[in-house]
A = this chain, B = another copy of it.
Amino acid sequence: MSRPTLASLASELAVSRQTISNVLNAPHRVKPATRERVQAAIAAAGYRPSAAARQLRTQRSMNLGMRLLPATDGINGAILDRFLHALTEAAQSAGYRLTLFCAESDEEEIRQYEQLLDVAGLDGFILTSSTPDDARTRWLHARGTAFAVFGRPWDSAGQPVAADHPWVDVDGAAGTEGSVKMLLAQGHTRIGFLGWHTGSPVGNDRRLGWKRAMSAAGYGQDLVTLNVEAEDTVAGGAAGTAVLASRGATAMVCSSDSLALGAMGQLRESRPGAFLRGGGPAGPDGQAAVVGFDDTPVAAALGLSSVAQPVEEAARHVIRVLTHELDGSGASLLSRGEGPERQLLLAPRVVERIPLPLAAP
């Protein structure tokens, strides 16, 4: 009653192991009659090839690795759930398994790569963030290991840079640009930007979209006074909003939902009635408006407008391009047709919401 193997099946069917192997890996090379007979026996016996034996022979594990970053904020990190699920699902239907690991730092991440490569023979890695002048992508490239990144490559100055490895990212600037346009349509003119004080490339990108849209609308002279940087927390958002409000801002575009949450709270406190218009988007007639980023569950729960990243689509594409790299190298002789985009910038979507009427009329 133990699990069937190639050998046990072969003797049972009175054919060679090779024939069964061919039925599985090169069906066209075997006569239809025997092929069907073998296939029936495979199904009946519930035979499944052993991945370990196969890996030993082919040097491929059909296994992808990904580092699980520690859950930081919890508000902003809420995106990971969806990304990870879509990633697992996509990998699974592409015939790959997904192995998770932890690392305290990028240096340790590299050491983990090395170990997982040597010990488990992982075929490739998914990186869920990119840093300026990323040592990890350099290492992987030098080692000749396949990988794909969720995040654009940045040079050491934090500027976008060309790279020849596969990556997928979301166009943050387009997101904040869309937020500004939405607020302009609501009648706002003094629209502030509440960003991070870290100077991260991602944050700069989001600020850039705000600048572009404001300039295009003719409010370029406000770019200095209406730009505020704060710590990426609810408290930081409240503090930054106090400054922006004192400079006359009636609406703010934020780099994160944490900041936006703080902004809403601060406005509710300092300007009673700021969100009274439960019936629809508020105008500049004493009304306020806030747009967050990432469209976390918190935003949805509180009626906070936010920029939604297509993380599921990003995850699917990461798998698509990575598996194409892994599977395609051999088949590239046959299908020299184009594969999936090796580099892809996805457009986010601004989700407009009506703030929950959390204050009494």
Q: Are B51 and A358 in contact (CB under 8 A)?
A: no
Docked Cα-Cα span, A48 to B54, in Å, equals 19
Please indicate the chain B residues that have their CB under 8 angstroms from the CB of A265 in the complex: 356-358
Q: Is A110 an interface residue (CB 8 A)?
A: no
Please indicate the chain B residues that have their CB under 8 angstroms from the CB of A100 in the complex: 84, 88, 97-100
CB interface residues, A 44-71, toward B, < 8 Å: 46, 48-53, 55-56, 61, 63, 68-71
Copies of this chain present in the complex amount to 2
Quote the shortest CB–CB distance from A216 to chain B (angstroms): 33
Please indicate the chain B residues that have their CB under 8 angstroms from the CB of A98 in the complex: 99-101
Q: Are A88 and B74 in contact (CB under 8 A)?
A: no
Docked Cα-Cα span, A359 to B202, in Å, equals 33
What mask results when residues 66 to 90 of chain A are scored 1 for a CB within 8 Å of chain B, else 0?
0011110111011011101100110
Please indicate the chain B residues that have their CB under 8 angstroms from the CB of A75 in the complex: 297-298, 301
Docked Cα-Cα span, A46 to B75, in Å, equals 41
* CB < 8 Å neighbour of A298 from B115, B116, B119, B301: B301
Q: Is A120 an interface residue (CB 8 A)?
A: yes
Please indicate the chain B residues that have their CB under 8 angstroms from the CB of A80 in the complex: 81
Q: Are B71 and A82 in contact (CB under 8 A)?
A: yes
Please indicate the chain B residues that have their CB under 8 angstroms from the CB of A63 in the complex: 99
Question: Would you list the 6 A-B pairs with minimal beta carbon distance, nearest first?
Answer: A74-B297, A272-B360, A71-B81, A52-B55, A48-B118, A359-B359
Please indicate the chain B residues that have their CB under 8 angstroms from the CB of A85 in the complex: 68-71, 102
* CB < 8 Å neighbour of A99 from B97, B261, B269: B97
Please indicate the chain B residues that have their CB under 8 angstroms from the CB of A50 in the complex: 56, 118-119, 121
Quote the shortest CB–CB distance from A286 to chain B (angstroms): 13
Q: Are A121 and B74 in contact (CB under 8 A)?
A: no
Docked Cα-Cα span, A46 to B275, in Å, equals 63
Docked Cα-Cα span, A121 to B52, in Å, equals 8
Q: Is A92 an interface residue (CB 8 A)?
A: yes
What mask results when residues 126 to 168 of chain A are scored 1 for a CB within 8 Å of chain B, else 0?
0000000000000000000000000000000000000000000
CB interface residues, A 340-361, toward B, < 8 Å: 356-360
Looking across the interface, which residue of chain B has its beta carbon closest to that of A48? B118
Q: Is A250 an interface residue (CB 8 A)?
A: no
Quote the shortest CB–CB distance from A287 to chain B (angstroms): 15
Residue in A56, A61, A71, A75 whose Cβ sees the most chain B Cβ within 10 Å: A71
Q: Is A180 an interface residue (CB 8 A)?
A: no
Q: Is A255 an interface residue (CB 8 A)?
A: no
* CB < 8 Å neighbour of A301 from B61, B115, B234: B234
Q: Are A74 and B358 in contact (CB under 8 A)?
A: no
Docked Cα-Cα span, A272 to B73, in Å, equals 31
Docked Cα-Cα span, A92 to B116, in Å, equals 11
Looking across the interface, which residue of chain B has its beta carbon closest to that of A298? B298
* CB < 8 Å neighbour of A101 from B48, B56, B97, B358: B97
Please indicate the chain B residues that have their CB under 8 angstroms from the CB of A78 in the complex: 74, 78, 81, 297
